[in-house]
Amino acid sequence: MTKSGIEDLTTLLATMEPSLDPETYVFITTTKPLSSLPLSTLDPQLIAQEKEGITIVTTETLARSHGFTEITFPCRKISLTIHSSLEAVGLIATITDRLKDSRISTNVVSGFFHDHIYVPVARAEEAMQVLEKLAEDSAKE
User: Taking the complete model, does pTM exceed 0.85, yes or no?
Assistant: yes
pLDDT at 94: 94
Mean pLDDT across the chain: 92
pLDDT score, position 3: 65
Domains in the chain (CATH in brackets) are 9-140 (3.30.2130.10)
Query: Each residue of 103-140: pLDDT tens digit?
Result: 999 999 988 888 999 999 999 999 999 999 999 998 88
Using a 10 angstrom Cβ sphere, with 0-12 exposed, 13-18 middle and 19 or more buried, the burial of residue 85 is middle
- 30-81 pLDDT, tens digit per residue, is 999 899 999 999 999 999 999 999 999 999 999 999 999 899 999 999 999 8
Dump pLDDT digits (tens) for 75-90: 999 999 888 888 888 8
| pLDDT for res 118 | 98
Distances from the Cα of 125 to the Cα of 70, 81, 121, 122, angstroms: 26, 17, 8, 8
Q: Dihedral sign, CA of 121, 102, 88, 19?
A: positive
- Which pLDDT does position 141 carry in this prediction? 75
